[in-house]
Amino acid sequence: MKVHEYQAKELLAGYGAPIPKHIVCKTADEAAAAFDALSNGGGAVVKAQVHAGGRGAGQLLGYADKLGGVKFVTSKEKAKAVAEAMLSHKLRTLQTGPDGQKIQTLIVQADAEPDKEFYVSMVLDRTTGVPILMGSAAGGMDIEKVAHDTPEKIIKVQVQPETGLLPYQAQKMAFDLGFTNDQIGSVVKILMALSKVYFEKDASIVEVNPLAVTKKGDVVVLDAKIDFDDNAKFRHKDLEPLRDLAEENATEIRAAKADLNYIQLDGNIGCLVNGAGLAMATMDMVKFYGGNPANFLDVGGGVTAENAVEAFRIILSDDKVKAIFVNVFGGIASCARIADALVKAGREVGFKIPVVVRLEGNEVEKAREILGAVKAELPAIRVAPTLTEAAKMVVELAK
Amino acid sequence: MSILIDQSTRVITQGITGSAGSFHTDKSVEYSPHSYVGGVTPKRGGQTWTGKDSGKSLPVFNTVAEAVAKTGANASMIFVPAGGAGDAIMEAADAGIKVIVCITEGIPVLDMAKAKRFVQAKPGVRLVGPNCPGVITPGQCKIGIMPGYIHKPVEPGKTGVGVLSRSGTLTYEAVFQLTGMGYGQTTCVGIGGDPIIGTNQIDCLKLFQDDPATEAILMIGEIGGTAEEAAAEYVKQHVTKPVAAFIAGQTAPPGRRMGHAGAIISGGSGSAADKIKALEAAGIVVAKTPADLGAAVKEAIARKKK
């Protein structure tokens, strides 16, 4: 689960990390009032709150001037105008996709213009299976690019899950990054907060970029990103209110309720598959034969008639879909049960577009008989003899 | 011959009285009745579990330590729910179980970070999974949720294919094709789809390379992490047997978790294209589609013979 910048910063602040003051706003008038409260005779920053990164370099779609999701303003009027523009245009960044993301929340943040920018994060090192604290003096920019072009500029320290980050490790990181004696205390506070959020809240990443030394000499968390491990949400009821459903795909939320693993894509061939690996491989196969998958959908091992019906409804709710590819390998689950589910789905949902079915495995003969018997009633269902045939067929039918 | 498990492996199920644990123990008992010696469910010690289809009865114990002491078990199959599965892994390791196969999906990453380190500190203990279909040595021992009937045992004195995979159904797809083409399987290892797993690709490659009955190796991977790249490098340097591979997720969008917790392209790494490039550079035959898994193995064997 992702959260907004302001939520991430407030969580870190709760563990003792210094952050610049901010006020969360839902309207332009609120932003104007927030400017008065925070500008202190100078300026303030208006920042769009969306889950995608790259906001500063983004662009408001359909807005005449160059304006992204982060803007320094020097007057109340400007604050209001910028907030109005942000709240009425979608923001496109490198991470939002071409259609952009609607902005529903802003923060107005007290001026904390950075003099120097650093990068720090807590993340899992998958190679070793051990969490690491990462730091770089090359902050403020795309850390993936830094890691790729100049890996020597990134410092990594293993953090044992039994102990969490130890104070001496935080201190060493702070010195290694080149902070001065009077800054060390604040940096250690930020690093310890990072580790506490990571371990106590089961985060999968806690990232501060930039960790800034401001022109006034303060050390603050200027921007932060946290992603939580969904597998651990059962022990963090306190985090539930932080979820912003408006940032998520409505169809994907609906699928999750039916225990379906669904991800919307932009092609026109709907896919219904059992198993995540096979579901990915099925999408790849559609592409390999010249088609375009409309979705990833794993119905899991225990497909029931009920969730198969819901799966078809979800696939068909995307009106780009021109054909459906059902690819099931019945391991222990019987293909006959899946065939029954298909028939039920056909009767309840109604198939107006071709449904190409490839079944293999347990009780496949019985399944073919079931589908053969409803040929006249459900002509949209076409049973393919092999996986390759099925892929070719569905690509052809979707054209 | 085989790797990890064989005719002599003695298995207990942790979480044997739960619905999934009971169902799959029953199926596994049907496949290899001699392998199973008991089960563990806290507070159900002293009861007897009876399989619905197999009709076999097994004693239930409160703790793994007691089960090991009374039955001599050396392997375990874990179906404990996600919140307690990390602890179940550590309990098994502490009780002297040598091969721990964790089927459970959805274990918090930090629980696995702790469990993995705990297991690593116990010499000779091997964890397979979590979030995996399990391990099977066809005709000898099945620990997991895979359908037994699709597998083909390797006849004594003959050789077969070793399979390792991050995905369940894709493994079944592969095994089904191999069996159809007449290739027996020495051992099939589902290594799991999570970011932190016990036994990885390189561990399996090493075991298969050292197993005289394994003639060729099929490795099924997917997007996320860089384990396939590391495995490719390992193959280049240490594996003399024919290796075929497949990578799922060429069409997966970056930043999205594709069903498996570990299947995500992030931070510019983990893409299918990078993995396929590394595998091909190591001389591994990469199947173009999931329909060509068996064919890729055949080609890898043919190439080595040249």
Report the CATH number that the domain containing residue B122 is assigned in CATH: 3.40.50.720
For CA atoms A255, A261, A265, A271, the dihedral sign is negative
Share of chain B above pLDDT 70, in %: 99
Residue B222's pLDDT band, with cuts at 50, 70 and 90, is very high
Same domain? For B158 and B300 the reply is: yes
List, for residues B260-290, the tens digit of each pLDDT value. 877 777 766 789 999 999 999 999 999 999 9
ipTM score here? 0.90
Residue A204 sits at the chain B interface (C-beta within 8 Å):
yes
For B269, which DSSP code?
B
Residues of chain A in contact with residue B167, where contact means CB-CB under 8 angstroms, are 275-278
Has residue B200 been placed in a domain? Answer: yes
**Tally of domains in chain B:** 2
Question: Which B residues in the span 118-137 are in contact with A, Cβ-Cβ below 8 Å?
Answer: none
Q: Give yes or no for A137 touching B (CB within 8 A).
A: no
Query: For residue B281, what is the domain's CATH number?
Result: 3.40.50.261
Q: Are residues A268 and A227 in the same domain?
A: no
Alpha-carbon gap, residue A339 to A62, rounded angstroms: 48
Q: Does B180 touch chain A (CB under 8 A)?
A: no
Active site residue A119: yes
Confirm or reject contact between A104 and chain B (CB < 8 A): no
- Shared-domain flag, residues B184 and B213: yes
Q: Which of A129, A147, A360 sits opposite B116 (nearest CB)?
A: A129
- A186 in helix, strand or coil? helix
- Please check whether residue A160 touches B, CB under 8 A: yes
Which tens digits make up the pLDDT trace of B152-161?
999 999 999 9
In-domain check, residue A7: no
SS3 B290: helix
Which tokens is A142 given?
């795309």
Model pLDDT, residue B267: 67
Q: Residue A284 and residue B82: Cβ atoms within 8 Å?
A: no
Indicate the residue among B128, B156, B191 that finishes a domain: B128
For residue B114, give the nearest of A161, A284, A298 by CB distance: A161
Q: Looking at residue A16, what is its pLDDT?
A: 97
CA angle B115–B262–B252, rounded 5-degree value: 180
**B163 and B51 both lie in a single domain:** no
| A274 CB within 8 Å of a chain B CB | yes
pLDDT in tens, B181-190: 999 999 999 9
Cα gap A155→A161, rounded to integer Å: 19
Question: Helix, strand, or coil here: B160?
Answer: strand
Contact B110 A281 (CB under 8 A): no
Choosing from A5, A207, A310, A363, the catalytic residue is A207
Determine the pLDDT at residue A62.
93
A231/B107 touch (CB, cutoff 8 Å), yes or no: yes
Query: Structurally, how many domains does chain A consist of?
Result: 3
CA distance B208 to B164: 10
**Same-domain status, A301 and A361:** yes
Task: Determine whether A63 is an active site residue.
Answer: no
In this predicted structure, what is the pLDDT of residue B258?
83
Q: Does A231 touch chain B (CB under 8 A)?
A: yes
* Subunit contact A261:B259, Cβ cutoff 8 A: yes
Chain A closest-CA separation from residue B212 CA (Å): 29
Least confident of B205-214, B222-231, B248-257: B248-257
Q: Is the pLDDT of residue B241 over 70?
A: yes
- The answer to whether position B55 is within a domain reads yes
Nearest chain B Cα distance for residue A279, angstroms: 9
Kindly state whether residues A257 and A391 are assigned to the same domain: yes
pLDDT, averaged across chain B = 95
Same domain flag for A152 and A100: no
Res. B16 pLDDT band, cuts 50 70 90: very high
Interface test with B, best of A93, A101, A126 (most B CBs within 10 A): A126
pLDDT value of position B304: 85
CA of B70, closest CA in chain A: separation in Å? 31
Cβ of residue A279 closer than 8 Å to a chain B Cβ: yes
3-state DSSP call for residue B137? strand
- Indicate if A88 and A121 belong to the same structural domain: no
Closest residue on chain B to A275 (Cα): B169
Mutate to test the interface with A, among B22, B131, B169 (most CBs of A within 10 A): B169
Residues A41 and A171 in one domain: no
Q: What are B116-135's pLDDT values in tens digits?
A: 999 999 999 999 999 999 99
Instruction: Read off the tokens for B4.
Output: 């990890």
Dmax (CA) of chain A: 81
Q: Tell me, what CATH number does A64's domain have?
A: 3.30.1490.20
**Rounded to whole angstroms, how far apart are CA atoms A329 and B147?**
11
Please indicate if any CB of chain B lies within 8 Å of the CB of A154.
no
Out of B128, B159, B183, a domain closes at B128
Residues in chain A closer than 8 A to B150 (CB atoms): 331, 361
B190, closest residue in chain A (CA to CA)? A277
Considering the domain boundaries, does residue A59 fall inside one?
yes
For residue B165, being part of any structural domain is answered with yes
Q: In chain A, which residues have pLDDT < 50? A: none
> Residue ranges of the alpha helices (H) in A43-131?
76-88
Quote the CA–CA distance of A122 and A31 in Å, as a whole number: 32
Assign residue A162 the CATH number of its domain: 3.30.470.20
Q: Which residue among A131, A234, A298 places its CB closest to the CB of B113?
A: A131
Find the catalytic residue in A5, A6, A119, A310: A119
User: By residue range, what is the domain housing residue A205?
Assistant: 114-242
CA-nearest residue of chain A to B144?
Answer: A332
What percentage of chain B's residues is helix, strand, coil (to nearest 5)? 35, 20, 40
Q: Give yes or no: residues A255 and A381 share one domain.
A: yes
Q: Which chain A residues have a beta carbon less than 8 Å from that of B275?
A: none
Contact A361, B176 (CB under 8 A): yes
Same domain, A103 and A131: no
Domain boundary residue, one of B102, B128, B154: B128
Nearest-angstrom CA–CA distance, A267 and A29: 41
Residue A287 CA to residue A333 CA, distance in Å, equals: 28
Write the CB contacts of A219 (distance below 8 Å, at least 6 apart in sequence). Answer: A18, A179, A183, A186, A187, A190, A211, A212, A213
**Would an 8 Å CB–CB cutoff place A228 in contact with chain B?**
no
Indicate whether A88 and A147 sit together in one domain: no
Same domain, B152 and B292: yes
| B24, B34, B238, B260: the active-site residue | B260
Distance (Å, whole) CA A27 – CA B258: 36
Other beta carbons within 10 angstroms of residue A276's beta carbon come to 30
Q: How far apart, in whole angstroms, are the C-alpha atoms of residue B244 and residue B164? A: 11
Position B193 pLDDT exceeds 80: yes
Q: How many CB pairs under 8 A join A and B?
A: 175
User: Residue B278's domain spans which residues?
Assistant: 146-305
